[in-house]
Each structure stands twice: as structure tokens, then as C-alpha cells.
Chains A and B, each alone.
Chain A
């Protein structure tokens, strides 16, 4: 458990370090990009559903898979559309 806590604390520092360097012009893409990244809950949803034993777990898991997928693909596509406009 200490291992996980270590990872968490280090990630906090990396997160603050990286994000504080983001150009103010790109704050909206930052937020939608971060949005896409928290769609990584899809990994958790797949793991849960893949080992679900009861109908309840299956239903909850599949709903999570669906919602997380919307989150992931939507997030990355929207971010890409925005960043494309900034490339010039």
C-alpha cells in the first residue's frame, strides 16, 4: 500500500510540474486533454467486467465501459480538433 502511496505522491509532483508549464493559450485543450486522460478509468472498467461473477457486477461494469469509452474517444477527438487549429 505504501508503494501505491509513493506513486501517488510522485505523480502529484510530476502533474504540478508539467501542467504549470502549459501555455495559457492552451488551457481549454489542456482541460479536454486531461479529460481524455481520466478516461483511463476504461482500463478499470474492462478489468472489472472481465472478471465479473454476478449479473450486478456485469451490468455495472458494462455501463462503466460504455461511459468510459465515450469519455476517452470524445476527449481525444475534441482535443485534436482544437489543437489542429493552433498548429499554424
Chain B
């Protein structure tokens, strides 16, 4: 493995050397320069990690292959329902209660008669479309249902026997979540949080893994979308707040064993902390998964950036980019699991803090 990486690195250096050499060659040959549209890596990356009204498969411009998704709009004149295929990848306007158009950021906008954007009307429409992320959400939910209902089925069938097949793959994970996350962080009342912890763990993990599949059932940056991570974090926040006991609020508003003057500073910090926790949960998962997607896309973009200079360089960089992306992919597999674990663990820790019973604060006084 290590020797393979070493040879890869050697190869990479050769490639880089060749690339630098090629840059000079390219600048020496002006006729190789500037194809019609300059490749914009930033735009491509943002497009790929953002939500979209169609599920992009391959190609771009005229030759794009994408799965059109339903657009559902709530307007002041009622619900609108049509296929995003009608937008012709952002080129056409769709007529309904209003005239709609997709903008650069793949958002639905209301346009007037002269194709100008009507910002006031746009602000009034609510977009409940089945976007790429929503479709991916449905897909991963369906996958989770199929897998875990069948696992539950095999538990019923295999009652009193050793686990079999897919059941034996998930059992250690479920036991790990129960014993090492829930029991450790929450304590004796862990049982009522188990369904939530298991659901978020597998939801995030599956979402992370599906995001790594570049083709249709995957490819959406589901768990790297702030709406998804934010909603999950809000669920954790709501469960924490509902279950919080007197001791928890006592700790927030008047930390025991702390002198009164310090409380003036500490209490606002603690109150802020209550709201900061879901915020941090949101950002951590969103940033980690999005960063993984950006890295993978960046390396692929390198191919095209260098390819614009010279096809050969692009090819050379391609080898290097693919090798590095394989490595990053393996890392992302790990990150996907770790982030699911961290989100679940932190949720469990917050639940544990909410349920914690008062104990002596001698140590905090000292």
C-alpha cells in the first residue's frame, strides 16, 4: 500500500513537472488558448453541492442528461405543480399563475412579461418542490425503511438465535450506539432516546454514504445541506428542551457553586450555549460533508483547468486527481461514519445533560 502511494507520488511529481513544462509550451502556442467558454470551477462546484430542481446525471449545456423533478410552488393564487423539465434547464419560462423561470442559482423566480425578474412576487412564492435533495431524502428514507424493517423482521424470525446476514452487520452498530453512546452519555434513562439516536445515526450515515455515490440514487449533497443538518439539530434541541429537568435549567440560569457577580457573565453565556449547541451541530455536519464534496470536485476540476491549457496536461493531472480522489474517498467514508457518530454522540450528551440529577458541587467550589 505504502509503496503504491510512493510510486503514485513519484508519478505525481512527474506529472507536475510535465504540467509546468506544458504551461510554457501552451503559452508559446497561442492557437491552443481560450476555448469558447472558460471553465468555471467555482460555479461547477457550487452547482454540484447545491440543491437543484433536476437530478443531474451527466453532460452540460445542450447535451445535459438530467432527471426532471416535480416543482411544487405555493403562491397566493394557489398551489402550482409542474415538471422542472418545462424549464428546459433554465432556458424556458413556465407559465402558471405567474410566469416562472430558473435563475443562475437554480431557484424559481417570477418573471414579468418582458422576462424581467419580479422580486416582489418572487418573495411571495413558497417553493416546496421535490428538489434533488428532497428526492434524495425520500430515497434514503426508503432505503432506511427497507433495510431496518427487514432487519427487524429477521430479529423476529431469528428470535433466540444468533444474528444472520444483514442483521449481524447492523447489530454491533446498534449495540455500540446503545452501550457506548446512549448508556454512557445519558445514563439509566437512555432507553427512551434510543429510537431517535438510532434514527439520526443511520440517517446521517446513509446520507453521507449516498452523497459519495456520484450517480443517480446518490450524488446529492443531502447531509451537506444546511436545511437538513439544521432540522436534525433542531430536533435534538427540541428533545433536549422537552426532557430538561429542573437541574438543567438551574445550571443554565444560576450555575450552582458560582459567586453571584460571576453569574452576571456566566448566565448569558449559558443561555447562549443552549442555542449554540444545535447551531454547532448544524454547522459541523454541514461543513464536514460539504467540504468533502468540495475537495472531491476540486480535484476533478483540476483536470479540466489543466485540460484547458493542454489536453495532455489534463490527462496527466487526471491520473493524479483520480488517485488522490480515491484516497480522499476512503477518507470521506471514514468522515461519513465519524460525523454520524459525532452528531449522535453529541445529541446523546445533550440529552444526558438535560436529564442529569443534581449532585454535590464540592468539586466545582474547589
Q: Answer yes or no: are A and B bound together in one complex.
A: no
Chain A positions near chain B (C-beta within 8 angstroms): none
Chain B positions near chain A (C-beta within 8 angstroms): none
